Chain A
Amino acid sequence: MVSRAAAAIRTRPRREREAEVLVWPDLVFIEFISALIFSIALMVLSAMVNAPLLNRADPDTTPNPSKAPWYFLNLQELLLHMEPAWAGVIVPTIALVLLAAIPYWDRDTQGQGVWFGTKFAGRLTVFGFTAATLITSLLIIWDGSLHVVWTENVIRGLGLNSDFTWPGGLDWFRNLRGFDTGIPWDSLGFTIGGFTMFEDWRAIPLGIPGTTTDPWLLNLNFPSFLSQQIIPVATMVGLPVLFVLFCKGLGWIHSRRDIALLIFSAFIGVYLTTTIVGTAFRGQGQDLKPPWDIVVLEE
């Protein structure tokens, strides 16, 4: 089909005709077939799997865990690791703005219209995706304190110390909140020239005496600010920067397109990992659980 149609227009001496094919039949045919395959596949799926319908909505019975639709579970996952304003609103907004801004930043038209157009595109993609997936998983494991459970189990299991527990000195490394609760902030005040600084790290005065400022500005709970905002945000900004520096060091990055490839692939890795963990690995109280141990209780 292709050749006959193409042969017919080849006689016309216009630009690039020989590289073109007719939309009918060549494209229309492919579109028709793919639409048909999808229709059949969805029909079969719908005949086999029913859409869920639970009990009638009841505001007085909260399911545990309560989850958003799966495509928002990456955000709900973030919610467990940082201040809600960051997880639910600021991070997704910034991510979407940056996504939309890619073409205004990477404007070089070299390598467009072909898959993985640069020399190191393949490696950057694989590295960005895999490294981001791994690191995200490790961070989630760490914030879920699984390393604590595993260390205790291994040391007890090996018979090294049958009632070993995670050392108190390492409480700050139990999880993200450890930086808040595991550090003796109360004893960390110091004095400069007779003034005692930060007697209370949990209520650092920010307002100017004698003025009325917004109440939340008046006192800063530094330990909580550190664990819920500074560390998560620094991680989200710092890791991409490290990724770029690392790949630059390897000599893989030669253009903005390369940086875009690396960061976009890493983004896809994080997006997928958080969605999967949020969907399949969060049980009651949003604790980390293997998928087969997850039951929904109504409370």
Chain B
Amino acid sequence: MANLERAPRKSFNDLIYDLIFKNYVWQSIFRTGYPNTPRNQMLAVATNVFLHLHPTRIHRTHVKITHTYCLGGLSFFMFLGLTVTGVLLMFYYVPSIERAYQDIQELEANVRFGQLLRNMHRWMAHAMIILVLLHMMRVFYTGAYKPPREFNWVVGVVLFILTLLLSFTGYLLPWDQLAFWAITVGTTMVGSAPVLGDESKFLLLGGFSVGPNALIRFYTLHVIGLPLVISIFMAVHFWRVRRDGGLARPL
């Protein structure tokens, strides 16, 4: 494709361009060179597995930073980062009350960049909650929940709840005093529900108080159950943004 657009005489830039984008290895991965014409740029977005979440063209007002402040995208980016750091953390962590705390200590002391890894995971989780809340506010104040986007707003509320639950289930895993008592306080609140309070609390903890069963339940929910569910809801969320005609704008 790119061949048709080659300049008649090779400039220095073209040489560099060819060197980078027209070698055997690059083309085996990306199939084409850098997309430098509108047609190829649209094709790049439409045919790339990661970029095809986007439309190929987008309304001018929506690329202004001040319209979305990138908040939805950044929430998603945090989720991706949390998945990467989370998988790495799983290499070092065993969810049993005998090992959990010690594993975290050893991760911090003995693993190269272990402390950094844990910090990244922790701060990204906090950042994600704040970003999701801010994203909700931006959607609200731009009136972007109005028809036909009602349902996507509801999907958003579910995403917000799932984000909190993901963070809450992760909170227990270090098995330190902070974790233990925060989860004790949190699940006691669940237990005060007027109907099925004690039952839900028991189901969540696998017992009457925070112990080994609670740890394995929180762990499983945190590393596989909730991430799967939130991925499905995110897929629906992004799909609906496209189906509802892109981002909201004045009629």
Contact = CB atoms under 8 A, between A and B. Distances in A.
A68 B185 contact: yes
B161 A96 contact: yes
Contacts of B142: 112-115, 117
Contacts of B73: 31, 34-35
B42 A22 contact: yes
A32 to B, nearest CB: 10
Contact of A72 (B41, B54, B168): B168
Contacts of B192: 84-85, 87-89
B65 A30 contact: yes
Contact of A53 (B57, B108, B247): B108
Contact of A89 (B51, B149, B193): B193
Interface in A98-148: 99-100, 102-104, 106-117, 121, 125
B189 A5 contact: no
B176 A55 contact: yes
A108 B143 CA distance: 10
Contact of A76 (B101, B168, B185): B185
Interface string B33-52: 00101100110110000010
A266 to B, nearest CB: 13
A178 to B, nearest CB: 23
Nearest to A45: B123
B210 A19 contact: no
A58 B251 CA distance: 59
Contacts of B35: 24
Say what secondary structure dominates the interface of chain B.
helix
A19 B62 CA distance: 10
A53 B81 CA distance: 22
Interface in B16-65: 35, 37-38, 41-42, 44-45, 51, 54-63, 65
A56 B177 contact: yes
B175 A56 contact: yes
Contact of A117 (B51, B143, B167): B143
A54 interface: yes
A49 B120 CA distance: 10
Given A53-B105, A56-B176, A100-B154, A69 B60 contact: no
A57 B92 CA distance: 19
Contacts, number: 241
A211 interface: no
A106 B140 CA distance: 11
Contact of A71 (B123, B145, B164): B164
B146 A107 contact: yes
B37 A8 contact: yes
B126 to A, nearest CB: 8
A50 interface: yes
Contacts of B210: 57, 59
A24 B247 CA distance: 17
Interface in B176-214: 176-182, 184-186, 188-190, 192-194, 197, 209-210
Interface of A: 5, 8-9, 16-17, 19-28, 30-31, 34-35, 38-39, 42-43, 45-47, 49-59, 61-63, 66-69, 71-72, 75-76, 79, 84-85, 87-90, 96, 99-100, 102-104, 106-117, 121, 125, 257, 260-261, 264, 268, 298
11 contacts: A5-B38, A20-B57, A21-B59, A22-B45, A23-B51, A27-B62, A35-B73, A51-B123, A52-B176, A61-B177, A89-B189
Interface of B: 35, 37-38, 41-42, 44-45, 51, 54-63, 65-67, 70, 73-74, 77-78, 81, 97, 101, 104-105, 108, 115-116, 118-124, 127, 129, 137, 140-147, 149-150, 153-154, 157, 161, 164, 167-168, 171, 174-182, 184-186, 188-190, 192-194, 197, 209-210, 247-251
Given A49-B119, A257-B143, A264-B140, 7 more contacts: A31-B70, A38-B74, A58-B177, A106-B146, A111-B250, A112-B146, A113-B249
